[in-house]
Amino acid sequence: MSARHRVLIIEDEVLVGIVLEDMLDMLGHSVAANCATIGEASVAIDAGGFDLAIVDVHIAGDPVFPLADRLNAMDIPLIFATGSSTDSLPERFHAATVLEKPYAFNAVEAALKQFAPA
């Protein structure tokens, strides 16, 4: 089994977030929080308790890059999730790990294996 992570999920589609939670559980990881809004995510980031974040690129149509910048400043690895082109990522995130939606179990597993827990 690979290293276990405490994962912050930032995903505005509730059912997609639940499916991701289930996948993480099956892979032996725990979910620190599953946030559907920028406000919820900001509170969860302030609270901490996670070592990795999976972040939808847009939450309710708003880009999440300010949240991603905060995570970077905290040295929290992040995985972007998107159902559209990765070309929409700002240049500072071009090297980031990206999961395409809809999520494939093997893709989630491979993305998580890239990061050792803090």
Task: Name residues of the chain where pLDDT drops below 70.
Answer: 1-2, 85, 116-118
The confidence score (pLDDT) of residue 32 equals 97
The confidence score (pLDDT) of residue 4 equals 92
Which ranges in the chain belong to alpha helices (H)? 14-26, 38-47, 65-73, 105-113
Give the separation between CA 30 and CA 19, rounded to whole angstroms. Answer: 13
The confidence score (pLDDT) of residue 116 equals 67
User: If you ran DSSP here, which 8-state letter would residue 86 be given?
Assistant: G
pTM here is 0.93
